[in-house]
Chains A and B, each alone.
Chain A
Amino acid sequence: MTDVTDLGIAQLRDGIRAGTFSAREVADAFIVKVSKAKALNAFIVETPDHAIAAAKDADAARAAGETLKPLAGVPIGMKDLFATKGVQTTAASHMLEGFKPVYESTVSQRLWDAGAGMLGKLNLDQFAMGSSNETSYFGNVISPWRRGGGDNAPLAPGGSSGGSSAAIAARLVPGATGTDTGGSIRQPAAFVGISGIKPTYGRCSRWGVVAFASSLDQAGPMARSVQDCAILLENMAGFDPKDSTSLELAVPKWEAGLSSSLRGKKIGIPKEYRVDGMPAEIEALWQQGIDWVKDAGAEVVEVSLPHTKYALPAYYIIAPAEASSNLARYDGVRYGLRELADGQNLQEMYASTRAAGFGDEVKRRILIGTYVLSAGFYDAYYTQAQKVRTLIARDFDNAWMECDLLLTPTAPSAAFALGEKSADPLAMYLNDVFTVPSSLAGLPAMSVPGGLDKAGLPLGLQIIGKPLDEQGVLNAGLAIEERAGFTARPESWW
């Protein structure tokens, strides 16, 4: 008999509809998997009751002969950056330990309205700041993958959506939400051999998502197939009047629109992404990807994105600047941690609360953000960065005159070992080199697995599309997925 936890979103949905298995069976199977996977530390909170309630609703609806909702009875994981009503929401910080929102984020509410259930709140880099999931107050997430040849060094599942990526790769959940500010969906997806899409900025509401950098933050789905990503995204996206930056557009039927033929499409290869010191394996994977899209009927052209090298420094001004302000609300007054020694005054309370409540990486970014916005530096740093951002967006606009989509590697390396880069923040930041430019321009971008490196670790390919062309991105992803035939999965050791 099939293990339902090996199935993806579409298969579970269809199986529950068809009565192949009950939603309750599905929920129970995943709940057991989650409970046995503590060693991965992918969850901060487990919510079996939530998943079971959704399963019961789905089974009851089916028994009553009702039309099932789009995700009826499908259990998923929720990144712990989304506020969930009555369920602890921490952003993986000590600051918000114990915080139970009285509200539900728009994105999670849409998923529950579609019939999905929640298996738990997934670990992440604290306040989504990190690329390895080593900054969580609740401990590192361990990737289910290991290097071959008896090297059991624990590996990073990527970040910031590292709990999401690890849980999906380990089959603890069939899919999960992620958020992406500079690559936080795509890079972890690449590290564990799954797919993930960051839609166009404004597609998914930011309401109820703990903010990191408002002009960059965007929610998106992560799952093991392109189709599953399309299904989840359809049930996450949509106009929300409560978010001023939300796009007032209907949600396309992305799943129905899936097609792996790229005939008539031009796919651009940005030459500036051939960075110095790129590992040969990444280079080879990229070439393999080019061959695959050609095979799918696309024409491949070289394009230039001349300001690419300035994307990361611009990002590391804009994101910390916004974060330094967004995180000012964590002050120990209305919710969350309060540290107050005898005799301390209000301002001292703020300083000790924030010192105790934020981890090192969060503090580092708040300090950088505070510094670049401070008197005398604003124009040189922030204004200049936003101007460079304009130039980066213009680079993409120019590229769209020559092609429909861009194909690049997702990350400059396979997953690294925990601790390998955590001592050098700058080396960690450089991991986002391929994902940050499209974030700065608000473009839809996706990572799909391409293959394994010599050590047996997954590598991802990234497709970047024009604004609002999630369909084009998904279709190219599907074309690659079909050709890559990626079936590798981590051996269970946890």
Chain B
Amino acid sequence: MTEAAYRIQGDTGEWEVVIGLEVHAQVTSNAKLFSGAATAFGAEPNSQVSLIDAAMPGMLPTPNRECIRQAVRTGMAIGAVINKYSRFDRKNYFYADLPQGYQISQLFHPIVGEGQIEISLDEKDPEAFTKTIGIERIHVEQDAGKLMHDQHPTRSYVDLNRAGVALMEIVSKPDMRSPQEAGAYLSKLRAILRYVGSCDGNMDQGSMRADVNVSVRKPGAEFGTRTETKNVNSVRFVMQTVEVEARRQVEVLEAGGKIVQETRLFDPDRGETRSMRSKEDAHDYRYFPDPDLLPLELDDSFLEECRASLPELPDAKRRRYEQALGLTAYNAAVLTADADTARWFEALLAESARVQGKGEQEVARAAANWLLSDLYGALNKLGKDLGESPVSPVQGAELLALVADGTISGPLAKQVFEIMLETGDSAPKIVEDRGLKQTSDTGAIEAVIAEVLAKNPGQLEQYRGGKEALFGFFVGQTMKAMAGKANPAVVNELLKKALAG
């Protein structure tokens, strides 16, 4: 890590910012953490509410195995200590989105202990600037319901669909020192969760949100007082929150003021954070172990199953792409940054290797280049993401195979791809229907070459006089005359002969 340290220039000198993130990630599961109600996003209000979620008298929680399993797998993915003994505690407070009057969470004995995540600060060269960010803990807890304030002049509406959905709270150590590090950490965490499949990482739908703890200090001094900005819901906003909150704190301190430990809110429209005094109401959560639930004890077979079901994680995959597949560091980084991209690429790769009868390492570079330039370029124009690609990995592999076996040339492949996007037809069908098949028929090519030479006597003379750079000109003319359908290797070979006279 040799990157220049991030510093805020104040009137009294340089300030360093210290950041820790508490990320709430919704666990991917069919049913809620303690009830059998569904978790799907976007349902009719209060249609996914069990009697338990509504905290009816006498209702009791029973934990969902999948939620526990996903938290454990997430912990394993960040190399964390898995606590075989954990407990659920009640966090008591009153709010209209909290039907029980308490949130079931884990304070005293979380399920996952210390771990770490490696972040990279240079996308082009991921190994150049890396930093390890410590994870303090991961615990499992219930989400709250949702209040709507704009439907009625004097009332707020309560929707309990989210109430009781499982969340993982992933608490980092205060190890980040710049907005870039905070952004890189959140992106990397999101990538890991999506790889593991424990959270869809969908920040628009609130599946992931971060509480941003920020403090400032003179470099090397003790930690300053921190503020906590709640529920920041994008990587960009997290970076902005760090930037503006750190600057605000420097201004307060340099004006002789003090930082108050408080909860703040990020306002993206104004680009500022502001105090949430309304929620400050002297919180005393009266945590105690939930007497409706017994201690959670995980056995070795459960842990073994969790470990065995872990996929290859982004860092390992990136290194393998570079080392075993021979991809560039940049391509490997881009292809592995998101689980869906890597999955798409690997499907393309496997299919390419299969149809071409070659090893993956032999087809990898062409596949990576096509995906990152041709396919991404096309999707960009269409405003779609990879998941919505009109061309499937199988179709892509067919196209790449036609290039590899010389059926069509590279330039022709681009045309075929365009037609695939328009019509949805497969590459072999397009080539067949439109007669785009490349020819290696030496008689036909020789005839065309003879014509080209006859039409360009001047160039021929120059070439034969030693200006061999004109070779490309003849190739171009021949290919053009054959509408791109000639096999370039054959053209090269026959041209050389003809030019040699």
Contact check, A347 vs B57: say whether CB atoms are below 8 A apart. Answer: no
With an 8 A cutoff between CB atoms, is B294 at the interface? yes
With an 8 A cutoff between CB atoms, is B26 at the interface? no
* Contact string against B for A residues 330-348, beta-carbon threshold 8 Å, 1 for contact and 0 otherwise: 0101110000000000110
Instruction: Pick from B57, B101, B284: contact of A328, CB below 8 A.
Output: B101
Contact check, A83 vs B58: say whether CB atoms are below 8 A apart. Answer: yes
* Contact string against A for B residues 26-56, beta-carbon threshold 8 Å, 1 for contact and 0 otherwise: 0000000000000000000000000100111
Instruction: Pick from A101, A333, A370: contact of B57, CB below 8 A.
Output: A101
Contact check, B51 vs A103: say whether CB atoms are below 8 A apart. Answer: yes
Residues of A within 8 A of B63 (CB): 244
**With A and B bound together, what is the CA distance between A83 and B60 in angstroms?**
13
**With A and B bound together, what is the CA distance between A82 and B291 in angstroms?**
19
Residues in A203-226 with C-beta less than 8 Å from chain B:
206-211, 213-215
Dominant secondary structure at the B interface? loop
**With A and B bound together, what is the CA distance between A128 and B397 in angstroms?**
71
Residues of B within 8 A of A322 (CB): 291
Residues of B within 8 A of A243 (CB): 60, 62
Contact check, A329 vs B291: say whether CB atoms are below 8 A apart. Answer: no
Contact check, B58 vs A206: say whether CB atoms are below 8 A apart. Answer: yes
With an 8 A cutoff between CB atoms, is A176 at the interface? no
Residues of A within 8 A of B287 (CB): 373, 378
With an 8 A cutoff between CB atoms, is B270 at the interface? no
Residues of B within 8 A of A374 (CB): 284, 286
Known contacts A213-B291, A241-B62; A325 and B286 CB within 8 A of each other = yes
Contact check, B60 vs A206: say whether CB atoms are below 8 A apart. Answer: yes
With an 8 A cutoff between CB atoms, is A242 at the interface? yes
Contact check, B99 vs A214: say whether CB atoms are below 8 A apart. Answer: no
Distance in angstroms from B297 CB to nearest chain A CB is 13
With an 8 A cutoff between CB atoms, is B226 at the interface? no
Contact check, B94 vs A207: say whether CB atoms are below 8 A apart. Answer: no
Contact check, A210 vs B57: say whether CB atoms are below 8 A apart. Answer: yes
**With A and B bound together, what is the CA distance between A242 and B59 in angstroms?**
9
Distance in angstroms from B85 CB to nearest chain A CB is 16
Residues of B within 8 A of A213 (CB): 291
Contact check, B291 vs A105: say whether CB atoms are below 8 A apart. Answer: no
With an 8 A cutoff between CB atoms, is B158 at the interface? yes
Known contacts A244-B63, A328-B100, A333-B96; A214 and B292 CB within 8 A of each other = yes
Residues in A306-344 with C-beta less than 8 Å from chain B:
321-322, 324-325, 327-329, 331, 333-335
**With A and B bound together, what is the CA distance between A374 and B283 in angstroms?**
10
Contact check, B291 vs A214: say whether CB atoms are below 8 A apart. Answer: yes
Residues in B68-106 with C-beta less than 8 Å from chain A:
90, 92, 94-96, 99-102
Contact check, A83 vs B57: say whether CB atoms are below 8 A apart. Answer: yes
With an 8 A cutoff between CB atoms, is A102 at the interface? yes
Instruction: Pick from A83, A89, A96, A325: contact of B288, CB below 8 A.
Output: A325
Residues of B within 8 A of A209 (CB): 58
Residues of B within 8 A of A99 (CB): 57
With an 8 A cutoff between CB atoms, is A401 at the interface? no
Total inter-chain residue pairs, C-beta < 8 Å: 99
Residues in A225-271 with C-beta less than 8 Å from chain B:
241-245
With an 8 A cutoff between CB atoms, is A375 at the interface? yes
Contact check, B291 vs A210: say whether CB atoms are below 8 A apart. Answer: no
Residues of A within 8 A of B101 (CB): 325, 327-329, 331
Distance in angstroms from B202 CB to nearest chain A CB is 29
With an 8 A cutoff between CB atoms, is A191 at the interface? no
Interface size on A, residues (CB 8 A): 44
Residues in A79-107 with C-beta less than 8 Å from chain B:
82-83, 89, 91, 96, 99, 101-103, 105
Instruction: Tell me which of B51, B60, B101 has the highest count of chain A C-beta atoms within 10 A of its own C-beta.
Output: B60
Interface size on B, residues (CB 8 A): 31
With an 8 A cutoff between CB atoms, is B483 at the interface? no
**With A and B bound together, what is the CA distance between A206 and B62 in angstroms?**
12
**With A and B bound together, what is the CA distance between A325 and B158 in angstroms?**
21
Instruction: Tell me which of A82, A213, A325 has the highest count of chain B C-beta atoms within 10 A of its own C-beta.
Output: A325
Instruction: Pick from B56, B58, B90, B293: contact of A325, CB below 8 A.
Output: B90
Contact check, B60 vs A242: say whether CB atoms are below 8 A apart. Answer: yes
With an 8 A cutoff between CB atoms, is A273 at the interface? no
With an 8 A cutoff between CB atoms, is A350 at the interface? yes
Residues of A within 8 A of B59 (CB): 207-208
With an 8 A cutoff between CB atoms, is A486 at the interface? no
Contact check, B58 vs A331: say whether CB atoms are below 8 A apart. Answer: no
Instruction: Pick from A244, A325, A333: contact of B92, CB below 8 A.
Output: A325
Residues of A within 8 A of B90 (CB): 325
**With A and B bound together, what is the CA distance between A216 and B58 in angstroms?**
14
Instruction: Pick from B56, B61, B96, B156: contact of A244, CB below 8 A.
Output: B61
Contact check, B56 vs A335: say whether CB atoms are below 8 A apart. Answer: yes
- Considering the complex, give the chain B residue whose CB is closest to the CB of A383: B288
Residues of A within 8 A of B54 (CB): 334
Instruction: Pick from A207, A215, A327, A347: contact of B58, CB below 8 A.
Output: A207
Distance in angstroms from B97 CB to nearest chain A CB is 10
Contact check, B51 vs A328: say whether CB atoms are below 8 A apart. Answer: no
Residues of A within 8 A of B57 (CB): 83, 89, 91, 96, 99, 101, 210-211, 329, 335
Contact check, B291 vs A244: say whether CB atoms are below 8 A apart. Answer: no
Contact check, A328 vs B58: say whether CB atoms are below 8 A apart. Answer: no
Residues of A within 8 A of B60 (CB): 206-207, 242-244
Known contacts A206-B58, A207-B59, A244-B63; A378 and B94 CB within 8 A of each other = no
* Contact string against A for B residues 293-311, beta-carbon threshold 8 Å, 1 for contact and 0 otherwise: 1100000000000000000
Residues of B within 8 A of A101 (CB): 56-58
Distance in angstroms from B173 CB to nearest chain A CB is 25
Contacts A329-B100, A331-B94 supplied; 9 other A-B pairs, CB < 8 Å: A101-B57, A207-B60, A244-B63, A244-B293, A322-B291, A328-B100, A334-B55, A373-B92, A378-B287
A-B residue pairs in contact (CB < 8 Å), sample of 23: A96-B57, A99-B57, A102-B56, A206-B58, A206-B60, A207-B60, A210-B58, A211-B292, A214-B291, A242-B62, A244-B294, A245-B292, A245-B294, A321-B288, A324-B92, A325-B92, A325-B102, A325-B288, A331-B94, A334-B99, A347-B94, A373-B92, A378-B288
Return the 10 tightest CB-CB contacts between A and B, nearest first: A328-B101, A214-B291, A373-B286, A215-B291, A329-B55, A208-B58, A210-B57, A375-B284, A214-B292, A209-B58
Report which B residues bind A (CB closer than 8 A): 51, 54-63, 90, 92, 94-96, 99-102, 156, 158, 281, 284, 286-288, 291-294
